């Protein structure tokens, strides 16, 4: 990275996750750790299809969108609006007062978009024909509708986009925020993404029939998600996501904002190997990590923590571990995957894990990998397990990978702003 370009700082966080919606409670649950995974209750679409799911809290649509839209907003967009509202409130910024709306961007990404709406409309059209299709179909299911709703609600008039790179989507959105600020195209970016796969039968059944979901854990659903553990046998499907407010650091300073952590680099590569399988040698992930560290102007020895993609799949975890060992050699950073307690939030996973990494850097506390009882020897890393590890790191990485071979890595450092959010409130830096 060219250090003469503006620094970017995270000043606001909003999460919608199986661990709840309060940022402090979310991070506390990651560090205890306290699982958000449950057995699908009777009547839930996933009941009988899988042993464990990560269900995000219900949201009051009437408090988030205009009354006339309550019945037509898809859950993925509703979660994005709620997370953006929370992140903007956390940052304290007032668009139109503190910042020109034309200098604010929004990137709210997703893997699948409004699957709940599309499934319902497909069922309705099957029953009633063409008359069964709502005129609001496209305003509900299109992947960019979360971005549009956030922009309209908050009067954001700058750059806007929605990236749909499956499970890497919301991490790509955060990388886009860095690009926009570095290029001078925005002073403030609201970025992240959400996924609402648990709302419809199609999403759950597709993964179940592909034998991708963890099985054999009906007696203890909290034990089903086991990143890097020898007994892992698939991922746990979750829903949720989040949004970050990322600002030009000098702009944040000028308005007296407190930063959680600086976003200082990113990497993105493609495996070009298989539509849904990762390259077992982890070469694409390794290239991504190297690129991110180099763009940040750092050495690999500067990285003290990696929040890994770590889904709990056999091949995926081995490939990622191989990449980390290849890149860091004898100077291995601490590694953990927070999916042990959240499950896999698909397109919403990257930003939630970026938020976890930002909080780990700010608080000097690295969350452990839950259920990592017996690490797979093929995933030999410096795992944080059992309990959180108090460590002040020079820099940290958050990694994401996805169907299609997409890889993303984000690099965070302690906040450079005069005020910092090191303990849940603003402190002089």
pLDDT tens digits for range 63-80: 999 999 999 999 999 999
- Residues 416-427, buried b or exposed e (16+ Cβ, 10 A)? bbebbbbeeebe
Measured CA to CA, the distance from residue 384 to residue 366 in angstroms comes to 7
Question: pLDDT by residue (tens digit) across 143-180?
Answer: 999 999 999 999 999 999 999 999 999 999 999 999 99
- Mean pLDDT value across residues 18-31: 98
- 426 assigned to some structural domain: no
Name beta bridge partners: 402: 406
- Vertex 253, ends 249 and 256: CA angle to 5°? 140
Q: What is the mean pLDDT of the chain?
A: 96
CA-wise closest residue to 425 among 354, 358, 357, 363: 363
- Mean pLDDT value across residues 207-234: 97
Measured CA to CA, the distance from residue 30 to residue 191 in angstroms comes to 22
- pLDDT category at 426 given cuts 50, 70, 90 is low
Residue 104: what pLDDT?
98
- 424 assigned to some structural domain: no
CATH of the domain at 16: 3.40.47.10
- pLDDT category at 1 given cuts 50, 70, 90 is very low
- 1 assigned to some structural domain: no
Q: Are 33 and 227 in contact (CB under 8 A)?
A: no
Measured CA to CA, the distance from residue 148 to residue 125 in angstroms comes to 26
- 428 assigned to some structural domain: no
- Mean pLDDT value across residues 255-274: 97
Token pair for 17 = 């996750």
* 3-state DSSP assignment of residue 84: helix
Query: Could you tell me how many helices (H) and strands (E) the chain has, helices first?
Result: 12, 19
Residue 2: what pLDDT?
46
Residue 5: what pLDDT?
73
* 3-state DSSP assignment of residue 195: strand
With a cut of 90, say whether residue 4 has pLDDT above it.
no
Residue 421: what pLDDT?
93
DSSP 340-402: HHH-B-GGGHHHHHHHHHHHHHHHTEEPPBTT-SSB-GGG-SEE-BSS-EE---SEEEEEEEE
**What is the H or E stretch that residue 120 is in?**
helix 115-128
- Active-site annotation, residues: 167, 309, 344
- 423 assigned to some structural domain: no
**207 C-beta neighbours (distance < 10 Å), count:** 20
- 422 assigned to some structural domain: no
Angstrom distances, CA of residue 379 to CA of 50, 104, 150, 232, 281: 26, 41, 40, 12, 12
Residue 6: what pLDDT?
84
Measured CA to CA, the distance from residue 117 to residue 141 in angstroms comes to 6
* 210: Cβ contacts below 8 Å, ≥ 6 apart: none
CA-wise closest residue to 364 among 400, 297, 412, 399: 412
Residue 427: what pLDDT?
67
The boundaries of the domain holding residue 65 are 8-414
Q: Are 93 and 186 in contact (CB under 8 A)?
A: no
- In the chain, the number of structural domains is 1
- 87 assigned to some structural domain: yes
Please state the length of the chain: 429
- 50 assigned to some structural domain: yes
* 3-state DSSP assignment of residue 219: coil
CA-wise closest residue to 54 among 39, 44, 43: 39
Residue 403: what pLDDT?
96
CA-wise closest residue to 105 among 126, 84, 134, 86: 84
Measured CA to CA, the distance from residue 368 to residue 365 in angstroms comes to 10
Sheet holding 37-38, edge to edge: 37-38, 53-54, 237-238
């Amino acid at each position: 990275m060219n250090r003469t370009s503006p620094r970017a700082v995270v000043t606001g966080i909003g999460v919608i996750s199986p661990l709840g919606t309060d940022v402090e409670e979310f991070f506390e649950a990651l560090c205890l750790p306290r699982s958000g995974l449950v057995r699908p209750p009777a009547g839930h679409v996933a009941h009988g299809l899988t042993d464990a799911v990560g269900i995000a809290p219900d949201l009051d649509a009437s408090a988030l969108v205009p009354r006339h839209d309550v019945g037509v907003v898809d859950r993925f967009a509703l979660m994005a609006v709620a997370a953006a509202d929370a992140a903007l409130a956390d940052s304290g910024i007032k668009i139109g007062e503190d910042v020109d709306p034309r200098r604010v961007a929004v990137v709210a990404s997703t893997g699948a978009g409004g699957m709940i709406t599309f499934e319902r409309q497909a069922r309705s059209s099957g029953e009633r024909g063409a008359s069964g299709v709502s005129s609001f179909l496209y305003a509900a299911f299109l992947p960019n509708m979360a971005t549009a709703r956030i922009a309209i609600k908050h009067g954001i008039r700058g750059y806007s986009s929605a990236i749909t790179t499956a499970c890497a989507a919301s991490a790509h959105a955060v990388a886009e925020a860095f690009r926009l600020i570095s290029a001078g195209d925005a002073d403030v970016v609201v970025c992240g993404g959400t996924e609402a796969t648990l709302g419809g039968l199609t999403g759950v059944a597709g993964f179940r029939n592909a034998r991708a979901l963890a099985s054999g854990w009906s007696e203890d659903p909290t034990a089903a998600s086991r990143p890097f553990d020898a007994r892992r046998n698939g991922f746990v499907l979750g829903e949720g996501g989040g949004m970050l407010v990322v600002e030009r650091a000098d702009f944040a300073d000028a308005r007296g904002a407190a930063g959680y952590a600086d976003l200082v680099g990113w990497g993105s590569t493609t495996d070009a190997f298989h539509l849904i399988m990762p390259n077992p040698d982890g070469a694409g992930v390794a290239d991504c990590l190297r690129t991110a560290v180099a763009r940040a102007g750092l050495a690999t020895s500067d990285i003290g923590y990696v929040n890994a993609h770590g889904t709990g799949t056999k091949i995926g975890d081995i490939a990622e571990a191989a990449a980390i060992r290849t890149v860091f050699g004898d100077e291995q950073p601490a590694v953990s995957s927070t999916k042990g307690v959240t499950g896999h939030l698909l397109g919403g996973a990257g930003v939630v894990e970026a938020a976890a990494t930002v909080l780990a850097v700010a608080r000097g506390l690295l969350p452990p990998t839950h259920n990592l009882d017996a690490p797979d020897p093929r995933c030999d890393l410096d795992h944080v397990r059992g309990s959180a590890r108090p460590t002040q790191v020079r820099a940290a990485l958050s990694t994401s990978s996805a169907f299609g071979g997409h890889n993303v890595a984000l690099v965070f450092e302690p906040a450079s702003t005069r005020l910092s959010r090191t303990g849940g409130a603003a402190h002089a830096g």
